[in-house]
Structure 1
């Protein structure tokens, strides 16, 4: 049976095109700002690591917020992270970065314009036939305004994928300061400025990625309705009204 989603959650034509194109090497993803003659091209998809998700519950949020760090240091309650309402099969999944390049000149200097267009948690390799917004457990679709995009925000332009069942342990290293300075955390440094933090007691991971001011979360569904990808984008075409 072919999947048909809720039209209120569906990505609009521009957003769907962006999401499909961002993970198509060689495709053109727009043009350089202020230079419509120079294309921005998808140069490749890089698998930076694999994420252990034993609980099947996924957080997509900033690993810390400034006010939450203040509470954490003083033993005060912190707000729950933005956990997706969707549930996934427990397992280990690749995290991919979609890289683009759009050369440009600025004050006589030449730059390659390389940047990450989107970050993906890849749950299946089946083709995606449709995209919809990834709602959080506290999002109420009936109360959303037309065209509203539920998203997470980030004070430090950093987002993450993390197992929700181990969130307290996984996020604690990002919130621990001594004399106003962050304590060095046990981490694996990855390509693209990403990093991976593991909690051995839960056998769960948190993987960070760049997310300018936060990001919108999208679910890519297969013909049967299974989620093949969870994708985060920043500064891209909006959702369908």
Structure 2
């Protein structure tokens, strides 16, 4: 990738700030949209699971099938063009809280702010938009961000070679719903169902889901040496207004 392309894919100052700040407990990100008196703070950062990626090929996409008018087909899966080392990696999640009241009832306003796969423990020197296999930065309009699309409020990290097997429980569940034979998904529930895990021991690979909405950008955090240290998806941008002083 040449210098011009690198500049177009690089995270801007606001994006870079959020990708770091979202994983620092206690950080005040801003104020709740429509309620400038209520701060939005990072309240918790925790390991969700470990994910095995034996091929070094990573898919970050919704695990649900493509829905057609007459049939369901497995989703191809947006594989990242950037390979990572084969291995097992920690998946972390960060949550914010911004209390609010609705119809006389008080809520904590807890929301998922971001998730990331820790490839190494090296500090991130800079962030860039992760392209998918076959995507060309020259075909993306300057200033535009690209990523994966989801209409199911769900994304996932998974090994690419095992993707068809790892996503089969979601395809099976969807087909069952359409035929009136709805059964529990063959997945492991994590954090009271906020995340789901599918393991394939034949490939030695895993898939772990996370909450996502609409079009989600995948970010690569690179260390000072240029190696990938982190792969992140931020989902909390729409929840707050950043204060000028932050």
User: Which residue, out of 105, 124, 129, partners 1:128?
Assistant: 124
1:12 aligns with 2:23: no
1:155 aligns with 2:156: no
Q: CA RMSD in A?
A: 2.1
Q: Hey, what's the Cα distance between the residues in 1 that align with 2:47 and 2:136?
A: 33
Could you tell me which runs of 5 or more consecutive residues in structure 2 were left unpaired when the two chains were aligned.
239-246
| 1:49-101 Cα deviation digits (max 9, x unpaired) | 100100000000000145169644xxxx6552100001011111111111111
Aligned residue in 2 for 1:87: 83
1:105 aligns with 2:104: no
> Map of 1:222-233 to 2, 5 A cutoff?
222-233=223-234
Q: Hey, what's the Cα distance between the residues in 2 that align with 1:61 and 1:205?
A: 14
Q: Hey, what's the Cα distance between the residues in 1 that align with 2:12 and 2:215?
A: 20
Q: Is the 8 A contact 1:15 1:236 kept in 2?
A: no
Aligned residue in 2 for 1:221: 222
What SS does the aligned partner of 2:197 have? strand
What SS does the aligned partner of 1:165 have? coil
> Map of 1:1-241 to 2, 5 A cutoff?
6-67=6-67, 71-72=71-72, 78=74, 80-176=76-172, 177-178=175-176, 179-191=179-191, 193-234=194-235, 236=237
Q: Is the 8 A contact 2:196 2:210 kept in 1?
A: yes
Offset, 1:44: 1.9
Change in CA separation of 1:20 and 1:183 when aligned onto 2, cut-off 3 Å: same
Change in CA separation of 1:21 and 1:6 when aligned onto 2, cut-off 3 Å: same
TM-score, scaled to structure 2: 0.87
Q: Hey, what's the Cα distance between the residues in 1 that align with 2:183 and 2:61?
A: 21
Could you tell me which runs of 5 or more consecutive residues in structure 1 were left unpaired when the two chains were aligned.
none
Change in CA separation of 1:214 and 1:207 when aligned onto 2, cut-off 3 Å: farther
Q: Hey, what's the Cα distance between the residues in 2 that align with 1:230 and 1:137?
A: 16
Aligned length: 230
Change in CA separation of 1:137 and 1:204 when aligned onto 2, cut-off 3 Å: same
TM-score, scaled to structure 1: 0.89
| 1:3-51 Cα deviation digits (max 9, x unpaired) | xx81111011111111111011111111112111221111121101100
What SS does the aligned partner of 2:218 have? strand
